[in-house]
Amino acid sequence: MKFKKLVKQFIKDSATYVKAGFPTITKEEYVKRLETCEACPNFNHVHRRCDLCGCYMDHKAKWGTAECPDKPPRWLGIKKK
């Protein structure tokens, strides 16, 4: 992923997270999200990043507003369930 696109996506996701009041998810949901990411072919196990959005999934998976960038998403933000 190109650096400019990565930064743009990070700013967008961060703004959504901040605007929503920094919602987090349960530990169980966090573990489930990470397991889903780790089983995904787009997950970079060396850097623990998603090759689609470029995010570090150990962090992004904690954000309640975050969702998987795959089409269709493998997991959704808490507001979209």
Provide the pLDDT confidence category of residue 79 given band limits of 50, 70 and 90: low
Spatial distance between the Cα atoms of 43 and 12, rounded to a whole number of angstroms: 21
Pick from 78, 5, 73, 11: nearest CA to 36: 73
Spatial distance between the Cα atoms of 2 and 64, rounded to a whole number of angstroms: 25
Residue 53 pLDDT exceeds 60: yes
Tell me the whole-structure pTM to 2 decimals.
0.84
E strands of the chain, at which residues? 43-44, 49-50
Q: How much is the average pLDDT of 1-14?
A: 83
Residue 81 pLDDT exceeds 60: no
Spatial distance between the Cα atoms of 76 and 60, rounded to a whole number of angstroms: 12
The average confidence (pLDDT) of the chain is 90
